[in-house]
Chain A
């Protein structure tokens, strides 16, 4: 594990505002894993063939595993009776802070792979940087998560190359996905007030410093995959502030069904 940039002052979390900011920051990170995990889970038994079906649900499981650790930490910080399940299943749409990219639907296998690749490249850089967080719990989670994230990036990157440099049909469809999803990539680097406070405290890495490297890496692979790099003047954002696309309500309806229909049900 890497050394923290600076150690957190033990009194840091005694301030209600700091704690509130940390919780909101963590939700922003964790909700990404939850919503992507849920999207990938929808593909269980519906993959184009057995191998990617197993792979995508394996990745979904990794995402849900990550999110549990984050939600458990949030529940611990809150110190009330809330549990990881409450945080996952009992919030309203506006309270979720995931980026818009990850709630986009599984339109076809091309979209699934492009969405995954755009996130995996970011996620690997993020977890790498988070290993230097001033917060000990986050360092441990990052160290654990990065091993899985590297494997995911390998999978989505390989498929992107295969589809882009594949048949005319696969290329045109994956190009369409790239064009459609590109406008959601910049949001990964936007920060909220809570994020800024945590960057300041050394708890969160400043991801804006990685923006250029991110686009370089993504463009490099798109080029290898013989795909065109989209040019857009406008990037869509809102998810991190709780302003979601029309798809989000449908995801939550399905995801929260059991807890809403049978409150407090347990395995």
Chain B
């Protein structure tokens, strides 16, 4: 998804300063949750699509956005957009790289993701040594969006960001 908001670079910088509280290297633009930003004088409406329905990070993201823009004198409105639902395809390339650098394997394509999570195929690349000789440790991880993996070569345990489509 191409992120093209009709806002000034200054405002975009503010947007990009707001991070996912649970993955503090990924900003909300790269996470792909900002659908639209409408500026009307000192009034700003940010349209947000939640990732996982129960993700506690969403409330924090809403609050953080509000705080960031209110500090600049804006009246901030956060609007939740449920449809179409968020997918991991909306994470930008820059976001995927930030994930990998942080030690979280970025989501694979849908079919590969199924092979990995359900059929235990070895396709996820270790974020430490790059080997694909990795195994699924748990389908569920520390947050709703992740599963737990371990590299069988360098033994590094790491998170994998599950594909959501």
Contacts and interface: CB of A to CB of B under 8 A. Distances in A.
B85 interface: yes
B118 interface: yes
B85 A58 contact: no
B140 interface: yes
28 contacts: A50-B138, A51-B138, A51-B140, A54-B140, A54-B141, A55-B138, A55-B139, A58-B144, A62-B52, A62-B54, A63-B54, A64-B54, A65-B52, A66-B53, A66-B54, A68-B53, A69-B53, A69-B82, A136-B83, A140-B85, A143-B84, A143-B85, A144-B82, A144-B85, A145-B53, A147-B165, A151-B139, A155-B139
From B53, B138, B140, B164, name the one whose CB has the most chain A CB atoms within 10 angstroms. Answer: B53
Contact of B144 (A1, A61, A136, A155): A61
B4 interface: no
Interface of B: 50, 52-56, 82-85, 118, 137-142, 144, 164-165
Main secondary structure of the interface of B (DSSP, over half): loop
B142 A144 contact: no
B83 A139 contact: yes
Interface in A17-31: none
Contacts of A54: 138, 140-142
B84 A65 contact: no
Contacts of A62: 52-54, 144
